Amino acid sequence: MTKLPFHESVIPIHREGWYFALAAIAITFLLTLLNHNLGWFGAVITAWVIYFFRDPERVTPVREGLIVSPADGMVLRISPASPPAELGLDEGSWTKISVFLNIFDVHINRIPIDGKIIKSHYRSGKFLNASVDKASEDNERQSLAVETKGGVVIGFVQVAGLIARRIRCDVQEGDQVKAGQRFGLIRFGSRADIYLPQGVEPQVIVGQRMIGGETVLADLKSKEPAREGEKR
């Protein structure tokens, strides 16, 4: 079996994670001075913090028209819905794909398709459990819309969850972006909503696990109907 070079086998940590990791290490050191059992507890929490902020490389399919998942997680719901009003998109027939991220998923978010960011809007809100559908409407969120060179607009939204208390978005209106490109993260536990325009059918199913930047959600060039699936 061929072994990967060491630098390729080590998963990098997002730069924001190092602040939390260093704080956790310091707290663990203090706990160890007080009690060894507390020190072990602190070590477990420190390991989880480092694990949470992991930022692995992804291999993104780059054919024009492919829409990839903006997040790791599980497809929670696929339903007709209008994008958030702040995006200024038509309230016509859209399909919303909701991806739920638990506290063990990679929380780095990625651009779903090549294009230009035409709208970016942050809205404060509640911190309901991200697995409930009202979270899309009531929770803190960062909404974005990207327009492809062919004029197709895709909406996608970072939604804070019950534990999440900060959304980070590193792109702004006017930016040219590529599918799979990192654009932000949410900590800790959240969801990502993707809005497909009429005529674009999902190629994923409820309950399917997503890999951000890799799993194809839909294909603008495909005429395939919405997929069905079953547990096996």
* Mean pLDDT in residue range 87-106: 89
Q: Which two tokens stand for residue 160?
A: 């804070």
Predicted pLDDT of residue 7: 43
pLDDT classification of 222: cutoffs 50, 70, 90: confident
Predicted pLDDT of residue 6: 41
In eight-state DSSP terms, residue 70 is S
pLDDT classification of 208: cutoffs 50, 70, 90: very high
Q: What is the pTM of this model?
A: 0.83
pLDDT in tens, 135-171: 566 678 899 999 999 999 999 999 886 665 678 899 9
Locate tokens 């009202």: which residue?
134
Predicted pLDDT of residue 130: 57
Peptide bond into 188 cis (omega under 30): yes
pLDDT classification of 227: cutoffs 50, 70, 90: confident
Residues forming the active site: 190
Strand order in the sheet with 115-123: 176-177, 115-123, 141-147, 153-160, 190-196, 95-101, 73-80, 209-210
pLDDT in tens, 161-188: 666 567 889 999 999 999 999 999 887 6
pLDDT in tens, 7-44: 444 667 777 767 777 888 888 888 888 888 888 888 88
What domains lie within the chain, and their CATH numbers?
10-52 (no CATH), 66-219 (2.70.70)
